[in-house]
Structure formats: structure tokens, C-alpha cells
Structure 1
Amino acid sequence: MKLASVLAELLLEHGWRKLLVPLKYICKKNSILQHIAIDILLDKICICPGHRTSKTLSKELGIQILGFRGNDYSDSVVIKKKQITPTLLSKCICKEALIQLAPISPIFIIDMSLWNLHYDDEKRELIEQLLITLNVVRQYLWDRCLIITNPCPEFLSMFSKATKGMRIQINIQNTSTKRLLEDLDLVEKAVVLDPYANEDLTDDEVIKFKVFIIGGILDKGNRMPRATTKLYYSEQLNELEIPRKRITLRGAIVGVPERINRIVQILLKNIIEGYSLEKAIVTSMTKSDKIMRILYEIQKAKVSKIDEIYLIERFSWLDISKDEVEEALKRIK
């Protein structure tokens, strides 16, 4: 269940259906309730009873979102926690109440045991990927569903500098993935995502697994072939008989996004939004991913005559744009 849905249910349990929110949340592109729920869990704000004149702007999950001036009345209001009096605090929805109901799965474990194999620029970019991944997770769940294992001192130092001034609660565990799974009794619910695994991850299996292990790897120059496979054995995950699965698109890994944040996005679209794996992959692909896949399919099909009409009809399942078609034609010629 999405975190926003949990908050909506909690509001309804309190009898609140008209929530007055600050302007900063109204301007958000995605779910307003999701953004509010994240900030509650980060201990920034609470939702308290409050009757104020305002204007209904939208409705989300049965909750009316109010803002600006108007003739409507709110029954609840978002307030910064530091501004709440002790008397009012007991009547509010704060971190302590929401965290008890917040989703605890799926869990994404990023194993950083191969950190030292990266160049400096790759290390910096890898940290950027982790922060983007956190933002992806926050669109559906919250920080504690993202776990980092095997962090070395250099990683911790660089990560600390990169997140200075930010309020985040990523679960960084100074232990191995193997030990963590054993300690939390999650061995039978885990899977390692490896593009070079022998078995494809299916829609039915995504539902079965609760823990998805991803290698903290960014290999710009293809210096670390089959790195996740090596991680699987070096970290002794094979001893736990944890399955290795690859995410494929119609049986091939070509064009399937490799970045950590994109992989997590694919899985969350499938698990939370109910997308098929194919739809989740296609909607998460970049322009370069799609062009790479088109070139692969054309080479495999050994087609002699290729034009714009052929590409549009042949690859309608990739939901390709005109720009992507034109770029693919340039590459072919």
C-alpha cells in the first residue's frame, strides 16, 4: 500500500476530510498526501484539528485538499511540529502514529561491497543515484524501505557530505547483506537482481518477494563485467540459496534500464501501481534505452527495408516518440 493511502485512512479515522495544507505542498507535482506523509515521518510536521476558512483545490483518496482563501472550512490543518503546543499535540497525527502503520515492504537493499572498485567520478555519481533512488522510493513508500549494506568509511563520509542539511532516514546498516537477512529472518523473501542471472523475474514472482537486493555498482567503462554475480558469491549469498533473477523485456536485457533508481522505479510501478513488468519497464526507459532496443530488434529480425512507418508499427509496444524514431533511423543509416 502506498504511504499516502495509509495517511488518508488515518485522517478518515479521526473524522477529518478537509485538510488545509501550506502552499509548498500545493505546488507539488505528485501526490500531496504522499509529500505530507513523508514530512510527518521525518518529524517535520503534524496534522492537527483546525477549522479555518479556505478553498477546496482538489480531492485525493477521499480527502479534500484546501488552500488559499475561500468560503469553505477545513477540519484539519498541517502545522510545523515545533509550533504545536503540548496540549494540542495529543490530538494530532504525528510521526509516532503514522510510523506504526507505514508500509515496511517492499525493501530495497543496495549492497555497497564493491565500492572500492569504482573510480572517484563513479563514486560521486553512484551517491547521486542513491539520492535519486530515495526520491523514487518516497513517491510510494518512505526512507526506511531503502537499506544500504556493507558501507565503508569512505562511502559514509562522502554520503554524509552529499546529504548535509538534508533530513533523511535511509537505513544504513554497518553489516553484510547476508547477516542482515539472517538477523531479520528475511532470507526466504529475498531475491538478488542480476542482469546475468539465468532466470527471468516474472510478474508472479515480484509479488512473492519482499526484499530486492541490488548491487551498488556503476560501471561506466564496462570494467566490471558480471559484477553483481561476483558480489553474489563474494558476499556468500549463494550459501543462503537466495535466487538470482534478471529483469528482461520480452526475453532480453537490452534496453532494460540499468541505473539503480530506474530498477527500483520499475519494481514499485509493478508492486504499488499494478503495472505489468513490461509496462513498468517501457514507461521507465530513457530515449537511449528505447533506441538501443530498437537497434537490437532490427538486427535480430534482419529486415532490409526500414522506414518511419515500419518503426512506428513494429515497435508500438515500446511507445516510441517521433524523436526516437528519427534518431533510430539516423543510427541505422
Structure 2
Amino acid sequence: MRIKELLCKRLKELGIDRLYVDSLKRKYAKSYMQTLAVKMLIENLTIKAERIMGNKIGEECGIELYGRGEETEVNYKIDKGEPLIYPPQTPFFLIDFNLWDMMTDEERKSTTLQFILTLNVIRNYLWDGNLGVLNAPTEFFQLFEKFQKGLKYSFLALNKMEIKGDNPIVLNPYGNIIADEEILRNSDTIILGGIVDKGRRIREATTELSRISGYYDLPQVKITLRGSIIGVPDRLNSIVEIVLKVKEGYTLEDAIISSQSKADKLRRLYYEMTRG
């Protein structure tokens, strides 16, 4: 369930069919309600009764949304207050940056940009509370702030392992367990390596990361496409999106294919052709 569904359900329970949302844009999942739900959770906003004039900008789940204007009187608006919805704590994606010092400056920037894209992917489905960083150094946050000036966020910054729910796994391209829909759907905490190793200097980087950070005993799961990792996206944001799509009902193969970049598709095509 996406958090927009929680918001729609709650508004209907309150009998609200018109809502003033000011200058809200469809930033996440091309949805006003998803964007509004994320905004309300991050900024501690709620719904308050207040008469205000506005122009209709859209409608979702049977609720009319209004922005600035003078066409129609609306009786509810967004304001500071107690939470209106309580999102699920899982799935929880934890990105471990314990190999940060082994990366080049270029790789650190690339990793940070992938994390920013991952945050956007999370917000298309859930919100910041479903994403955490582990062992992230000060430089990571400095780069994050540099690339995303003024962005409000609430993802969790952890110095020690935190597992939520049941069946935690590590997504590792060198893992000894092959991912399937059941494994991904049943896993509440999913750990990924926050590392870009373009020079392949670190042998089996995610395995090494698991040892250093002390969770090597957790299931090491690799995502494959018809038995091979070739053509499976390896960027953090793409991997997280694959898992979320599977949790939403996609088959694993469909989730992988729909998340492939052009480069991923070409690598897979070449692999299929040379394999005969």
C-alpha cells in the first residue's frame, strides 16, 4: 500500500471531499496525494477546518484539491498539527556506508547521487521513515546538502544496526541465495551497500561490507534475471525500486525489466546473443 492510499482513506473517514493544498505539485508518483502525504509526514502537517477560497487544480480518490484562487469556497486546509496518518514502519531499506573511505571522490559523489534518487523512489511509494543510512560519515551529509539544498528530509541516520520487522536480508550481487518473489515480499528490512566501486578494487564489496559491519550472518541474497546478474540494474535507486515493485505485485522478472536502463538492456542483449 502506498501512503497516498492511507491519506485518501483517512480524509474520507473524516468526510472531507474538498481540500485546499495551496501550491502543491505532483512531485512523487505523479500524484498530488502521494506528494501531500510525504509533505505532511516530513513537515508535521495535518488538516484543519477553515474557510478559504481557491481554484480547483485536480482530483484524486474522489477528493477535490484546490490551490490559490477565488472560484470556490473550501472548508479544509493544510496546517501544522498532530499526524493525520501513521505510515507502516516496513519495508525498511538500510544503506550501509562503511566502505566510504575506500571510494574515490568521484565514486562518493556517484553514491550520494544514487542515494538521492533512492530517496525519491522511496517517496513514490512510502516516505523517508522507510529509509535509513548506516555508518554514514559527515562528508556524505555535506554532499547530500550540496546536491539537495533546502530539501527537508526525515530519513534515519544510524550508527548501529537497526532491524525492523521480520526476515532481514542483505542484497548482495555475490550472495549465495537467489532472490524470488517470496523472499522479497517477506523481508521487512533490506540492507544494501552504499558503495560504487568502478575500479573493482574491492573484491565482492557487499560481502566485505557485511563482514566489517557485523551482519554477515544475515541471508545474502542476489537478484538475478533468468539465472544471471547480467542486465540486472546495480544502482541503489533501481534495486530499491525493483524490491518495491515486487512488494506491490510485480513478478521479479517484470520488475527487473521495467527498471532496466538502456545500458542494462544492451548488456543483457549481448549476453543473450553470445550465449546462443
Query: TM-score, normalized by length of structure 1?
Result: 0.75
Equivalent of 1:105 in 71, 75, 90:
90
User: SS where residue 113 of structure 1 aligns?
Assistant: coil
Superposed CA offset, 1:103-147 (max 9, x none): 211000001111111001111121111111111111111111111
Map 1:153-232 → 2, pairs under 5 A: 153-175=138-160, 177=161, 180-181=162-163, 186=165, 188-232=166-210
Distance in 2 (alpha carbons) for counterparts of 1:129 and 1:170: 15
**Structural RMSD (CA):** 2.4
Decide whether the 8 Å contact of 1:51 with 1:73 is kept in 2. Answer: yes
Post-superposition Cα deviations, 1:248-285, rounded to whole Å, max 9, x if no partner, equal 1122111111000111111112213x221111111111
CA–CA distance in 2 between the matches of 1:47 and 1:34?
Answer: 15
Q: CA deviation at 1:98?
A: 3.2
Please say if residues 215 and 228 of structure 1, whose CA atoms lie closer than 8 Å, have aligned partners that are also in contact: yes
The structure whose Rg is larger is 1
Within the candidate set 243, 255, 258, 2:231 is matched to 255
Matching residue of 2:115:
130
Of 244, 247, 256, 1:281 maps to: 256
Q: State the distance in 2 between where 1:258 and 1:108 align.
A: 15
Q: Could you say what secondary structure the match of 2:185 adopts? A: helix
Greater RCO (CA < 8 Å, at least 6 residues apart)? 2
Cα offset, 1:21, TM superposition: 2.4
Q: Deviations over 1:230-257 (max 9, x none)?
A: 112232313xx31111111122111111
**Compared CA separation, residues 104 and 62, structure 1 to 2 (3 A):** farther
Q: Name the SS for the 2:233 alignment partner.
A: coil
> Higher mean Cα deviation, 29-38 or 291-300?
29-38
> Contact 1:2–1:103 at 8 Å: present in 2 too?
no
- Look up the match of 2:275: 300
**Is 1:244 equivalent to 2:244 in the alignment?**
no
Is the 8 Å Cα contact of residues 55 and 69 (structure 1) preserved in structure 2? yes
In 2, distance between residues paired with 1:115 and 1:207? 29
Residue 7 of structure 1 corresponds to: 7
Q: Is the 8 A contact 2:171 2:223 kept in 1?
A: yes
For structure 2, which runs of at least 5 residues remain unmatched after alignment?
Answer: none
SS at match of 1:283: helix
| CA gap 1:106/1:26 in 2 versus in 1, 3 angstroms | closer
Q: Which residue does the alignment assign to 2:212?
A: 234
Say whether the 8 Å CA contact 2:167–2:189 is kept in structure 1.
yes
Q: Report the counterpart of residue 134 of structure 2 in structure 1.
A: 149
Q: Which residue identity does 1:282 align to in structure 2?
A: I
Q: CA shift at 1:225, angstroms?
A: 3.3
Q: State the distance in 1 between where 2:174 and 2:195 align.
A: 14
Contact 1:50 1:76 (C-alpha < 8 Å) held by counterparts: yes
Question: What percentage of residue pairs aligned between the two structures are identical?
Answer: 34
In structure 1, runs of 5+ residues without a counterpart are: 82-93, 302-333
1:136-159 per-position Cα deviation (integer Å, ceiling 9, x unaligned): 111111111111111234434444
Q: Normalising by structure 2, what TM-score?
A: 0.90
Q: SS of 1:49's equivalent? A: strand
CA distance in 1, matches of 2:28, 2:159: 35
Q: CA deviation at 1:4?
A: 0.8
For 2:151 and 2:71, the matched residues in 1 are separated by: 37
Q: Which has a greater percent of strand?
A: 2
How many pairs align? Answer: 276
Query: Which residue identity lines up with residue 123 of structure 2 in the other structure?
Result: R
